[in-house]
Structure 1
Amino acid sequence: MGTGKRGLLTAAVTVVCAVTVLAAPGTAFASPTPKPKASPSAPPALPPNKDLEKIREKLDDLYHDAAVATDAYNAAEEKADKQSTQIVELAKKIVKGQKKLDELKDRAGAAARAQYRTGGLPDEAQLMLSDNPEQFLDGAGRVLQGQRATKGLITELTRTQADLKQYAKDASAQWDKLEANRKDKAAAKKKIKKQIAAAEQLEGRLEKKEKEKLARLEQQAALKAQTAWLDTGVLDEIKGKASEQGKKAVEFATNQIGKPYVWGAEGPGSYDCSGLTSQAWADAGHPIPRTSQEQWKQLKHVDVKDMRPGDLIIYFDDASHVAMYVGDGAIIHAPRPGRTVTLAGAGTMPILGVVRPDA
């Protein structure tokens, strides 16, 4: 194996290994100079007289912001996975292209050596020196074939070199995108942790009785929202039946009830909201986008009155939460940190719209 070829193979393997490291969740990257530790942020202030309703609203805001950051984290991770795959494929193409280029150069060298053995005279000159008519005609045919072969060899060499140059350019561009998404993931991860920590600090400053009352307030707020939604008569209009794939997705989601919410998780032991819905539909044989925002963008929209079990309900104006409709006005979803996958009312949160994975 030539030195150039060996070097390219080594480079390609290095690319693959580096991509694997960059794409790994939770990978730490050393800083060239140690940074001073940031001072811990002050815990969120409690409302005057510990107004539990205001605390409930504040907690909702904190967890909502964490959900938005989680969607950003998941989107960056999904993009990074795709870019990692593309870089690996480009590295393979570079290795394959270099091998082809080496073979073409060997053929060109062989042709040059053959010409040297004939005294350096081109085939056309040797042909003109021949005094045998039959040999002349036979040689003329070979000259034409040789000219076409030489032209084809040069064309193929040029094209292969251009391909290699483009592959390298594409790999460099994908690497830049991969690095940008790694930074996006890191920023989103930092925000998620910050919002969750603030919420936990806020809850941690409440006494046991206050926590119990806060839980009752949350239940009352959910019940009030669900009752208002049902009072519109919407359930009278929802009569759709699940498709076969929808039934499988609902069955999968149902089997996950009780498992903890963990941001960025796609199972099998824990889930975030879109991790649950995407895995349920993947199990049903119909892969869908990973994040709630992409599910909202890419899947077919249907009217609420036309939804059927297995459809996904997207919540909030920024599409930051998603749940699976399971029928009778109920959903299964992974709510937020500190909670588990659970059954809830479909109207307990502001509905942005409904999407159908298997439209």
Structure 2
Amino acid sequence: MIRRTTSGRRGSDRGGRRWGTACAVALLLPLAMGQSARADPDDDPQPPPPPPTSAEVLARTDGVAALLVRLQDLRHQEEQAEQQSTARDAELAARQGELDRANGRVAAEQQQVDASEAEAAQLAGDEYRGGGLSGIARFLLSFAPTGLLTEAGDLQERSRSEADVVHDVRDRRAALAALRDTARQARSGAELAAGQARAARTDAERQAADVQARLTTLDPAQRAQLDDREAALADQAQRQLLASGVLGTGGGPATPAAATAVTYAMAQIGKPYLWGGTGPDSYDCSGLTSKAWEAAGVPIPRTSQDQWAVLPRVPLDALRPGDLVIYFPDATHVGMYLGGGLMVNAPHTGAVVKVAPLAAMPVLGAVRPAP
């Protein structure tokens, strides 16, 4: 596991488009040159100028460096708040489920208490209608020997029944009180979780608004420079990662389940990022990975932090397609590894699901949803 601290935290849309179209450009350029040569054999076609290096781009975009750092920080705060909001929503759903189950048990036990109390009332009514005397008193006042024996047997049976009913009422009332206490605790937990969910959602919405507000202050030239600088930083980090040999030769081909998850994730390319999104029209980072593995029949935790906490860890030199790469020290972003040092992810507000270099953000580690 490695941690990267380069300021290029996220791949930009422009960077993603460069990685996604590089192969197409490489294929089309020789073809276009060949057609030009055939059209006019006397011409001496000049080779296209080489693309600027990452160092050249970074030198040219020094003026927006601080702006990019601030924007990346806002994006990270937004995603951190979004993941917390999603986790709090899940906690609220769990607490509400506990409350519903507790209330159901209270209702069922109340029915049992009502039935036991009705039976006790019936016995008391029978006793009263028998002359207002207790069974023991009637037994003692009986004179006929045969009636005495009969009354004794009836009293013994009745006494057992009355004792059973009394114990039953007492026990069921105690059980009902305990269940009501459990339900009160569940209600308190649900109310606390609801408050936390509302606060987390408000925080996430505020962070998203901050990012959008920052973006609206930029002119097209600044946006282009930001995109160029972010792509150059990602390219620089990717080269360093590959040169370090930390990826090794990989962990082999994808399993059938992993291949299904990768296919699902790749089919979402171009769909917009939306915090809390789980498809089919938009996704956040962990919404994409959780839905992709769900499509493969493997349920995994909903948030990137829970995915990092729960799923088995895998070293970077054993990565194989379908594994999840977790980013930032607080595990607030996740992408799905594709092989060849690339991953697919839903990056941030204003971006779309896309393929990006593995090192586009600081890597925390990787996990594998299925053996």
With normalisation by structure 2, the TM-score equals: 0.76
Partner SS for 2:360: coil
The Cα of 1:140 is off from its aligned counterpart by 5.2
Among candidates 232, 246, 261, match of residue 220 of structure 1:
232
Aligned to 1:166: 178
Q: Does 1:314 align with 2:316?
A: no
Partner SS for 2:116: helix
Q: For 1:210-239, what per-residue CA distance to the aligned partner results, in whole angstroms no more than 9, with x for missing partners?
A: 211211111111111121111122333313
Give me the whole-angstrom Cα distance separating, in 2, the residues matched to 1:321 and 1:68: 8
Q: 1:269 to 1:117 in 2, by over 3 A?
A: same
Whether the 8 Å CA contact 1:293–1:319 is kept in 2: the answer is yes
Whether the 8 Å CA contact 1:309–1:324 is kept in 2: the answer is yes
Partner SS for 2:163: helix
Question: Which amino acid is the alignment partner of residue 249 of structure 1?
Answer: A
Question: Which amino acid is the alignment partner of residue 352 of structure 2?
Answer: T
Question: Which amino acid is the alignment partner of residue 166 of structure 1?
Answer: A
Whether the 8 Å CA contact 2:346–2:352 is kept in 1: the answer is yes
Question: Which amino acid is the alignment partner of residue 80 of structure 1?
Answer: L
Give me the whole-angstrom Cα distance separating, in 2, the residues matched to 1:233 and 1:111: 85
Structure of larger gyration radius: 2
The Cα of 1:188 is off from its aligned counterpart by 2.3
With normalisation by structure 1, the TM-score equals: 0.79
The Cα of 1:124 is off from its aligned counterpart by 4.2
Aligned to 1:178: 190
Give me the whole-angstrom Cα distance separating, in 1, the residues matched to 2:347 and 2:144: 94
Among candidates 59, 63, 68, match of residue 71 of structure 2:
59
Query: Aligned-pair RMSD on alpha carbons?
Result: 2.3
Aligned to 2:353: 341
Aligned to 1:117: 129
The Cα of 1:53 is off from its aligned counterpart by 1.4
Give me the whole-angstrom Cα distance separating, in 2, the residues matched to 1:146 and 1:286: 60
Among candidates 259, 265, 286, match of residue 247 of structure 1:
259
The Cα of 1:133 is off from its aligned counterpart by 5.3
Residues paired across the two proteins, number: 310
Whether the 8 Å CA contact 1:235–1:305 is kept in 2: the answer is yes
Whether the 8 Å CA contact 2:68–2:230 is kept in 1: the answer is yes
Q: 1:134 to 1:259 in 2, by over 3 A?
A: same
Give me the whole-angstrom Cα distance separating, in 2, the residues matched to 1:237 and 1:156: 70
Q: For 1:282-309, what per-residue CA distance to the aligned partner results, in whole angstroms no more than 9, with x for missing partners?
A: 2222222211111111222222222322
Q: Does 1:155 align with 2:167?
A: yes
Partner SS for 2:352: coil
Aligned to 2:288: 276
The Cα of 1:244 is off from its aligned counterpart by 2.9
Whether the 8 Å CA contact 2:324–2:336 is kept in 1: the answer is yes
Whether the 8 Å CA contact 2:247–2:316 is kept in 1: the answer is no
After superposition, residues 15-26 of structure 1 pair within 5 angstroms as none
Q: Which moved more, 1:298-307 or 1:151-160?
A: 151-160
Give me the whole-angstrom Cα distance separating, in 1, the residues matched to 2:152 and 2:313: 70
Q: Does 1:286 align with 2:298?
A: yes
Q: For 1:59-93, what per-residue CA distance to the aligned partner results, in whole angstroms no more than 9, with x for missing partners?
A: 11000011111111011100111111222222222
Whether the 8 Å CA contact 2:272–2:353 is kept in 1: the answer is yes
The structure with higher relative contact order (CA 8 Å, sep 6+) is 2
The Cα of 1:276 is off from its aligned counterpart by 1.4
Whether the 8 Å CA contact 1:264–1:271 is kept in 2: the answer is yes
Aligned to 2:215: 203
The Cα of 1:263 is off from its aligned counterpart by 0.7
Aligned to 2:12: none
Give me the whole-angstrom Cα distance separating, in 1, the residues matched to 2:138 and 2:253: 84
Q: Which moved more, 1:222-231 or 1:303-312?
A: 303-312
Give me the whole-angstrom Cα distance separating, in 2, the residues matched to 1:126 and 1:345: 94
Q: Does 1:233 align with 2:245?
A: yes
Whether the 8 Å CA contact 1:266–1:276 is kept in 2: the answer is yes
Partner SS for 1:252: helix
Question: Which amino acid is the alignment partner of residue 343 of structure 1?
Answer: V
5+ long unaligned stretches in structure 1: 1-48
Give me the whole-angstrom Cα distance separating, in 1, the residues matched to 2:328 and 2:151: 81
The Cα of 1:143 is off from its aligned counterpart by 4.2
5+ long unaligned stretches in structure 2: 1-60
The Cα of 1:107 is off from its aligned counterpart by 0.6
